[in-house]
Amino acid sequence: MDKYQILGIVLFTLILLAENFFPYRKHYKHRMRHYGRNTVLSAVNGLIMGLSGAYITVHVFLWVAENKIGMLNQFEASFVIKAILAFLIFDAWTYFWHRINHVIPFLWRFHRVHHNDPAMDVSTALRFHPIEILLSAIINLGIIAAFGIRLEHLIVYKLIFHTNVFFHHSNVAISDSVDKMLRYIIVTPNMHKVHHSCKQEETDSNFASILSWWDRLFGSYCERDPKSIIFGLDSYMEERWQTVKGLFKLPFAGPCKKKEDNG
């Protein structure tokens, strides 16, 4: 386990403690079971990526750097300038990749594992099917090569990414006025709660991960009263789909059409 993984665990733990002591919404039954299931899913994803992805990813970064592959390697600029450009490029890509997962039925099969969570807290940020994680990692390698993103750039982005993803999935009490102010720059809990609504028109909004600008720029920004939102999907909300086994099986169940999931 490297220092970045340790930092991620520390951040996750701090937010988990904060939302337990200062919850925005009242605590729900079986909270610890919910944390446990989502954490187990994340641990499996980490094991799979550690075994299959780390070696390939390192070699892609080495190949990009040694051969000056990609857009950012075609001109001279300071580390800070290139880090900012890499950050904006990757955050924009993350927005579009997320949006694509809601549009293509095959990808939605796996992404709906994240959306069929009946509660929303920091552990929801860990709730992804391994195949979605693998597909994302493979495509990200192409983005890294195309734009010449260095390992240092991606580390900076991922640290900020994971911090904000933990934050905007959390159930930490934050005043609506502070949330609204922060929302002009970053994705906040109240903004992302809309994305986890059971209503499809709300689910298909607020796709950004860090900068809220992308949703505003590309017309997918949506505001709702966060207290009135019901989380999850219309289908696949039964207890059997909330177990670890059920979450692994969910992409292979039922129709692929999204409207039949959360219309």
Domain ranges of the chain: 3-262
- Predicted local confidence at residue 31, as pLDDT: 84
- Predicted local confidence at residue 56, as pLDDT: 80
- Predicted local confidence at residue 261, as pLDDT: 52
pLDDT digits (tens, 9 = 90+) for 230-255: 999 988 999 999 999 999 999 998 76
Question: Mean pLDDT, to the nearest integer, of 87-104?
Answer: 97
Which residues are bridge partners to 186 per DSSP? 211
> For residue 67, how many other CB atoms are within 10 A of its CB?
11
Mean pLDDT of the chain: 91
Asked if 248 and 129 touch (Cβ cutoff 8 Å), the reply is: yes
pLDDT digits (tens, 9 = 90+) for 217-229: 999 999 999 999 9
Is the pTM higher than 0.85? The answer reads yes
- Predicted local confidence at residue 52, as pLDDT: 63
pLDDT digits (tens, 9 = 90+) for 108-136: 999 999 999 999 999 999 999 999 999 99
Among all chains, which residue has been given the structure tokens 């969570």? 117
pLDDT digits (tens, 9 = 90+) for 46-63: 887 776 666 788 889 889
H helices present in 116-210, as ranges: 130-147, 151-169, 176-182, 189-195, 200-203
pLDDT band at 263 (very low <50, low <70, confident <90, very high): very low
- Predicted local confidence at residue 147, as pLDDT: 96
User: Which range among 6-20, 61-75, 87-101 has the greatest average pLDDT?
Assistant: 87-101
Determine the Cα–Cα distance for residues 118 and 94; give it in Å rounded to an integer. Answer: 24
